[in-house]
Structure formats: structure tokens, C-alpha cells
Chains A and B, each alone.
Chain A
Amino acid sequence: DAGVIQSPRHEVTEMGQEVTLRCKPISGHDYLFWYRQTMMRGLELLIYFNNNVPIDDSGMPEDRFSAKMPNASFSTLKIQPSEPRDSAVYFCASSPTVTEAFFGQGTRLTVV
């Protein structure tokens, strides 16, 4: 397996635009996590899914953020409209259980 695959690796967008981050988890993993890494707050859990169902989205900053997992092999994190303070590295991770998580390489988002 190629591991967790995220796209794009880098995204630069203008304030107000919609941004969609994509993730393909490792096959067979029942859990999928979205994290955001910033200098100030480290790795923040935004949302996680179990068997494609959102379990805890309390970390999603506000209504501008939404995440979906339409099937076991794909998830998206959408920001609409984007703001400069959303600039961060966004990581997707998957896990067979809620123990060892396998991370993708991340998407570096810059909102100007």
C-alpha cells in the first residue's frame, strides 16, 4: 500500500475562495482523521470518521469548514470561504483502530 495520500501538496489561494483538500486513506483502515498543524497550537484534531461516519467534529473551527467521507477510500476537507488565518499544514491520517495513526504528507495551505 502506498500509504495515506493527500492532494494537493501545496495550495495557494486568495481570501474568499473555496479550498478543497483531498485524502485517500490506507485500504482497510476504519478510522480517518483530519488534523491541522500551526506553530501556535501544534497538531489540532479537526474531525474524525469511523466507517465513513463523522464521530467527532468538535475541533472544526467554524461553519466555514466541512468534511465528508463519501466512501471508505476518499475524504475531503473543504473551507469556504477561506481566510488568511486558515493558512496551515493540514494532515490526514488513517488507522485500523484508534491507536497508531498513519499520516499523509500533508497539504500546505496558504491563503493570501
Chain B
Amino acid sequence: DQQVKQNSPSLSVQEGRISILNCDYTNSMFDYFLWYKKYPAEGPTFLISISSIKDKNEDGRFTVFLNKSAKHLSLHIVPSQPGDSAVYFCAASGHNDMRFGAGTRLTVKP
């Protein structure tokens, strides 16, 4: 039972353009959402988060949007840079539980 879903296994964008990564969740008890970034041979590292009381959180080039009614969140990276190429995991937490999506591999082409 996948409670957090990332339906796009991969995404390729041109340097300088916007990258949009999507994530859906099913459990309405989740109230905190995170994005992690993972480079090869390393563990995932925290990137940005959002609480369910907000619908947007921005940190530099990274913005996370939350649509609670649709149980959907997205990560926008603008402008995208080659160093952003990595696997991005969406995570949802609440009630002492944290679940991850399967990840989306982002490739930013120079």
C-alpha cells in the first residue's frame, strides 16, 4: 500500500528552465511534507519542507506547493542547474509515521 506516490520515475529538463516534480499522498493524517535529494552512493539529504497549515514554502530556487484538498504537492526548481541532477524523494509524515515516495530522477542538461 503506497501511501506516497511519485508517478514520474524520471524527468529531463534544460539548464535554466523550470523543473516540476510531483507527489501524491493518500493518508489525510499526514501533516508535514518534505523533499529529499539523493546523489549516487550517498544517503538522501533534506531539501525543503512544508507544514499542512501552509500552501507554499520557498527557499531560494526551490519552492514547494501543497494542495491539501487534492492531496498533492510539488517541488519547483527554477532556474534548474546541472548540479540539481539527482533523485528526488517526496516524504509525508504525521502521527509518528513517515513514508517516502519511490523517487523521481531529475536530469538537468547543460
| A42 CB within 8 Å of chain B | yes
- Residue contact B99 to A45, C-beta cutoff 8 Å: yes
Contact indicator B89/A43 (Cβ below 8 Å): yes
Instruction: Tell me, yes or no, whether A103 is within 8 Å of chain B by CB.
Output: yes
Shortest CB-to-CB span from B26 to chain A, Å, is 15
B77 within 8 A of A: no
Flag if B6 contacts A42 (CB, 8 Å).
Answer: yes
**Bound Cα distance A50, B98 (Å):** 13
Across the interface, do B45 and A103 meet the contact criterion of CB distance under 8 Å?
Answer: yes
B34 touches A100 (CB 8 A): yes
Please indicate the chain B residues that have their CB under 8 angstroms from the CB of A43 in the complex.
44, 89, 100-103
The yes or no answer to B42 lying at the interface (CB within 8 A) is yes
Of the candidates A4, A33, A106, the one whose C-beta lies within 8 Å of that of B98 is A33
Is residue A41 within 8 Å, beta carbon to beta carbon, of the partner chain? yes
Kindly identify, within residues 90 to 104 of chain B, every residue whose CB is under 8 Å from any CB belonging to chain A. 91, 93-94, 96-103
Q: Contacts A91-B44, A99-B32 known; A45 to B100 CB distance under 8 Å? A: yes
In the complex with contacts A50-B96, A55-B96, A98-B93, A41-B43 CB distance below 8 A:
no
Provide a sorted-by-A list of 24 A–B residue pairs whose CB atoms are within 8 angstroms. A4-B43, A35-B100, A42-B100, A42-B101, A42-B103, A43-B89, A43-B101, A44-B100, A45-B100, A48-B98, A55-B96, A56-B97, A98-B98, A99-B34, A99-B49, A100-B34, A101-B46, A101-B91, A102-B46, A103-B43, A103-B44, A103-B45, A105-B42, A106-B43
Interface residues of B (CB under 8 A from A): 6, 32, 34, 36, 41-46, 49, 89, 91, 93-94, 96-103
